[in-house]
Amino acid sequence: MASVLNLDDWLLPTATQPADVSVVLTVHIKTDIEALRSIDDPKQRRSHASHQRKKAIELFAQQFNIKQYDVSHQHYAITFKTSLPLVNQMADNESVDRVTVREVTPGIKRESSRPINYFCLKVQFIIQVEGYTKGLQEVDEQHVLVKATSPEDARQKIQPYINKYETPYINSDGAWVLWKFDRVLDCFETIASTESDFKPEGVEVFSEIKRRRMKSNDYWDGKW
């Protein structure tokens, strides 16, 4: 069964029967990847995928007797009103990738509480050495995990860590050294909310997409 998102965000009035509840859903349609592998031309592949999803939407609407609905660009999703008891049946349809609940009537939306997750902040320090006025200067970039409710909250909670690093010390030559905070370069929200989410097989804690000049051995013909 496909995931049903946001349904738990709504409370039903006491003694309300499911059959008396209407919901506005956006149903996201799967793309049959295997059927596209034999098409070499990207434009044809895109057109075929859109046509494929269009047919799936038409069949889905016919199966559940949906008369009025809106379709997204390239037929990725269909939005419509239906009854609550049908939601799980629709999520169980083979053409459905996921279902998002937009509105529940009658229903009261719960007050949203932001979950607490681990955020990874990429922090830059400038290493200042007493008496040095020119030449190359060392810069330290650190990835620091902080538990917070938002990027803004994470930037505030990292301040004690920054303050600790900005304490001068004496190096082996007797000179004062200061790791001066420069800036937060980036902030990445992980999927981890507890220590148990850090699995032995690995968990992504930071991601940064960059560009580089393409090399000849980086070419991919799209075959797999």
At residue 205 the predicted structure's pLDDT band, cuts being 50, 70 and 90, is: very high
- Dump pLDDT digits (tens) for 2-49: 889 999 889 999 989 999 999 999 999 999 898 898 888 889 999 999
Look up the pTM and report it.
Answer: 0.67
Cα 71 from Cα 97, distance rounded (Å): 15
User: What domains are there in the chain, each with its CATH number?
Assistant: 3-109 (3.30.70), 117-208 (no CATH)
The mean pLDDT of the chain is 93
- Dump pLDDT digits (tens) for 40-87: 888 999 999 999 999 999 999 999 999 999 999 888 999 999 999 999
Alpha carbon of 188 to those of 102, 148, 185: distances in Å? 27, 11, 10
- Please, are residues 116 and 148 in contact by the beta-carbon 8 Å criterion? yes
